[in-house]
Structure 1
Amino acid sequence: MTDGRPDVAVVGSGPNGLAAAITMARAGLAVELHEAAPEVGGGLRSAALFRPDVRHDLCSTAHPMARASRFLREFDLAARGVDLLVPELSYAHPLPGGRAGLAYRSLRRTCAELGPDGRRWRALMEPLLPHSRGLVDLMLSGQRSLPADPVAALLLAARLPTVGTPLARHQFAGEQAPALLAGVAAHAVGRLPSPTGAAVALLLGHLAHGTGWPLVRGGSDRIARAMAADLTAHGGRITTGRRVADLRELRGARAVLLDLGPTEFLRVAGALLPERYRRALRAFRYGPGAAKVDFLVSAPIPWADPRVGRAGTVHLGGTQREVFRQETRVARGLPGGRPFVLVVDPAVTDPGRAAGGARPVWAYAHVPNGDPTDPAELVTASIERYAPGFADTVIARQARSAAALERYNPNYVGGDISAGALTLRQSVLRPVPRWDPYRTALPGVYLCSAATPPGPGVHGMCGYLAARSALRREFGLRRAPSLSP
């Protein structure tokens, strides 16, 4: 620190902002982190919405990357007291008529319950598992270098056409297996089938049979707390409740890392940016929105197929055909239809989340960007379709439309929790085409949000990779600092 000024200023304390700040602080630099909200966390916040003894995850709740991403592997959440609970049944996909597709942590059990399609499911997923780390590191990279595990890249490339093109409609004989894949592909929040949806389906799908889809005991904010604690332990300073209005407020820091999307970056730095770069940022496309409903319920969700009640995550959208049609419709900005809905009953995996005869239920619906519609009735009806009697268990509920979600977090433009449409082009060239996607047109200023590669998810890699770039270019430090406890 020079004259009381930090070496590094970080704006935004989502998982990427925290990862960037930690990486810089562990390299021996003086770091200040600025957060507009009253508490750190971004998408890793939890709160008692209805009762003080029942906590709800306000944004993300299931974390497939928490045990898989390079940053969080090295950071070692478990060693810091963050208990990642892995459900036996990673995810489920109910279908009309009381049937369901079930993706267990056990690949063998999954294949056995898929009947004749089990053999094809095994052929799709099993070869990926021995190369899981290579596949994760490839997809959660800056995507500007050769893969460390070429076999993982080849396995992924060989599967993309059969999962991400119209061929996906002809890979299985029954309905459960294609619905399972479609539900995971829908995490890409865009038109389906597509190459990006296929890549997401293969990444998350194979992790369901590997490291699993864990939830955090006690709530997602435990991850943010552990990261903030590490930052302060290494000399970092955190300021909350202050929104940076102008980048010039941070003048004096040798490097500035922004956990902001293009729209927010233009807000704080627009006047300083070259016109050509401003045009490129304005051309960045946002994807569909998410509409959120938090429920307080009196009993576990009464799924028509009781096995679904053991799943950590549940996808609601009907058959593969229905999911593909609805996600494509939403990506085109068209309202109507039955939305794709993700549901988590955290107490299934973490019984401690239930208290006094009440438990939280978390649900997101995919809707057109900026949709102002209150989603409460729509989401309740979607769950009721596959769990008759659910509405009778609801004690209280709180809803946020896609438009309201942006007000909660300005990075979620129009409710886009992916921080930008996951098109094939924008999966790599986000937010603008540059060899170093983290450097901006301003000297010493870097973007580290999910609008940079590798994109959305609680993995910390956008922040980590942006910090590595800044360490090399601004401080001449090429060796990555240790992240271990």
Structure 2
Amino acid sequence: MPERWDAIVVGAGPNGLAAACTLAHAGRSVLVLEAAARPGGGTRTEEITERGFKHDICSAIHPMGAASPFFRTIDLRPYGLEWVHPELALAHPFDDGSAMQLHHSLDATVDAMGDDGKHWRRLFQPFLDHTDALLDETLGPLRIPRRMMLMARFGLRALRSAEGLTRAMFGNPKTRAMFGGISAHALVPLHSFGTASFGLMLILAGHKAGWPAARGGSIAISDAMIAYLRERGCEVRTEHRVTSLRELPESKAVLFDLGPHQVARVAADALPLRYRNALLRWRYGPGVFKVDWALDEPIPWKNEACRRAGTVHLANTWEELAETERAVSRGEVSERPFVLVAQQSLFDDTRAPKGKHTGWAYIHVPHGSTIDATERIESQIERFAPGFRDVVRARHVIDARALEAHDENMIGGDIGGGANDLWQLVWRPMVRWDPYTTPNPSLFLCSSSTPPGGGVHGMCGWHAAQRALRGVLR
């Protein structure tokens, strides 16, 4: 007899797996098909430098995952997922040897800030009092909010540029630099409207749930979701590339954890031309260049706070940070780029052999860049951690094109599922009131090109699965 499933999910990245888990949680049968040899997408961990050193290929630190409503609904702890928290979420060092610190605790962050502490509290405390409600409202599509006043207050700040909000709120250039570095996760220039939303959300998530990593590597997240699915009779098949809907077994619904361009090709016979053309107009953003290191010792930071932080942002001043992001928008790479560093082995002893450590870092580069920025990254780390190169025993580099080859959803090395200018931040992947549905009632979109966008939070998949459950899977 032919196979029959309630739903098929094409793509086993974190959003595809989240969609499958949401459907399985509701009692539906699900088949997940993945083109790569291993599932996980941006949540893979491999020994790419030396044996025994576990490196996260893409996503490493998960503030939105720990705070996400999806992970509150689907409890993956019995399936091996453990969030491990560093002492400090973030450190941002400066040339004078000092460093700003983002603590899990709002009070501890405020106490370390001096005069700007009261402004930090005034900005974040009202939202922290209602964080779950705020996350429920913001981690999804544009809609009429249930908490009108809360969202109005948040929106007035989130829609601003990071540059405008920091200059209005903070007097200390170092506070502005730390907020700017967090906002730079938007991968667009910091004078752009909407960039403040990235800083606000990541900081709120940090104060709510921290900036943790998954014990054993990011692969533990996808492994836990797969174990959850298999316990419920669902199936994940790898090395199964889907090029046409005609290849699929019988099902009531198909959910795509694919980029808009791929969906337009795979579902060409099942979607109207106008909708497919809208998918093909989706624009991708800058890429990243990434380096992983096997280390004989921890990174020898000058400032001791950096030795206690899971994440370290290297950009020194606001002006230096802003210029590096403008350079990327011009198609250039700064000689002193903004470097995002993670050091998971400091708080997860499963990542490296005893006494050894791992390092993980990336910078923003132009879309599709093949530049080798290893020297620039290591020079920036040496600037704040003299002697860093002396503790490096092996390194692995991956440029933007190679990252796309590793994960076909990361077009041009774009790790966020699409350019994060204000238009595409609000309307993903097109102007449509329900972005997870399509003109075909049995087809749904669930990749990071739908709201709320990039990050390992599972919410794109969760929302798409909810639409399917209210529609063809009722």
| TM-score relative to the length of structure 1 | 0.93
Residue in structure 2 matching 1:426, options 414, 420, 424 = 424
SS of residue in 1 equivalent to 2:47: strand
1:245 equivalent in structure 2 = 243
Q: Cα deviations across residues 21-74 of structure 1 (Å, max 9, x unaligned)?
A: 112223232211101112211111111223332211111111112221111111
The equivalent of 1:211 in structure 2 is: 209
Question: Does the residue aligned with 2:184 lie in a helix, a strand or coil?
Answer: helix
Q: Deviations over 1:397-434 (max 9, x none)?
A: 11011111111111101100001011111112111111
Indicate the larger mover: 308-317 or 206-215.
206-215
Asked if the contact 1:125/1:206 (under 8 Å) is kept, the reply is yes
What residue is the counterpart of 1:341 in the other structure?
339
CA distance in structure 1 between the partners assigned to 2:216 and 2:188 by the alignment: 31
Matches within 5 A, 1:251-330: 252-270=250-268, 272-330=270-328
User: Partners in 1 of 2:266 and 2:3 — Cα distance?
Assistant: 23
Name the CA distance, whole Å, in 1 between partners of 2:95 and 2:465.
47
Secondary structure of the residue aligned to 1:334 is: coil
Matches of 2:73 and 2:202 in 1, distance apart?
Answer: 20
Contact 2:295 2:359 survives alignment (8 Å):
yes
Q: Say if 2:67 and 2:208, in contact at 8 Å, map to a contact too.
A: no
Provide the C-alpha distance between the structure 2 equivalents of 1:166 and 1:418, rounded to a whole number of angstroms. 23
- Give the Cα–Cα distance (whole angstroms) in 1 for the partners of residues 41 and 48 of structure 2: 17
Is 1:90–2:89 an aligned residue pair? yes
RMSD: 1.9
Change (3 A) 1:254 1:226: same
1:370 corresponding residue in structure 2? 368
Q: CA deviation at 1:328?
A: 2.7
Shift of residue 223, structure 1, vs aligned partner: 1.1
Preserved CA contact (<8 Å) 2:324 2:336: yes
Gaps of 5+ in 1: 478-485
CA contact (8 A) 2:79 2:228 kept: no
Could you say if the C-alpha distance between residues 443 and 250 of structure 1 is closer, same or farther in structure 2, counting changes exceeding 3 Å? farther
1:114-162, Cα deviation, whole Å (9 max, x unpaired): 2122221221222221111112112212222423x33431331343366
The answer to whether the 8 Å contact 1:261/1:411 transfers is yes
Match of 2:442 among 444, 448, 465: 444
| Corresponding position of 1:117 | 116
Rounded to whole Å, the distance in 2 between the matches of 1:137 and 1:333 is 36
- Partners of 2:165 and 2:210 lie apart in 1 by 27
Q: Is the 8 A contact 1:376 1:398 kept in 2?
A: no
Q: Would the alpha carbon gap of residues 332 and 273 (structure 1) be closer, same or farther in structure 2, given more than 3 Å must change?
A: farther
Query: What corresponds to 1:454 in structure 2?
Result: 452
Any idea what the Cα deviations from partners look like across 1:195-216, whole Å, max 9, x if unmatched?
4321111111122222111111
User: Who is 2:41 aligned against?
Assistant: 42
Distance change in 2, residues 1:48/1:432 (3 Å): same
Deviations 1:159-194 (A, max 9, x none): 336663535335322222111100110111112133
The equivalent residue for 1:78 is: 77
- Which SS does the other structure have where 1:29 is aligned? coil
Greater Cα shift, 118-127 or 159-168: 159-168
Matched residue of 1:8: which SS? Answer: strand
Residues 131, 151 of structure 1: 8 Å contact kept: no
* TM-score normalised over the length of structure 2: 0.95
Equivalent position amino acid for 1:86 in 2 = H
Corresponding residue of 2:184 = 186
Alpha carbons 1:41, 1:224 under 8 Å: kept: yes
Name the structure 2 match of 1:153.
151
Q: Is the 8 A contact 1:317 1:341 kept in 2?
A: yes
Q: What is the identity, as a one-letter code, of the residue corresponding to 1:471?
A: L
AA partner of residue 68 (structure 1): A
Q: What CA distance in whole angstroms lies between the structure 1 residues aligned with 2:160 and 2:20? A: 40
Find the counterpart in structure 2 of residue 483 from structure 1. none
Query: Once the 2 structures are TM-superposed, how far is the Cα of residue 76 of structure 1 from its aligned partner?
Result: 2.1
Does the aligned pair in 1 maintain the 2:21–2:229 contact within 8 Å? yes
Residue of structure 1 in register with 2:197 after alignment: 199
Structure-1 separation of matches of 2:311 and 2:86: 9
Which digits, 9 at most, give the CA deviation of each residue in 1:300-351, with x for residues without a partner? 1111212111111111122122222221331343343422221011012223
1:391 offset after TM fit, Å?
A: 1.1
> What letter matches 1:367 in structure 2?
V
Q: CA deviation at 1:449?
A: 0.2
CA distance in 2, matches of 1:90, 1:17: 28
- AA paired with 2:420? L
Match of 1:5 in 2: 4
Deviation at 1:443, TM superposition (A): 4.1
Q: Helix, strand or coil: the match of 2:310?
A: strand
Matches within 5 A, 1:99-178: 99-147=98-146, 149-160=147-158, 164=162, 166-178=164-176
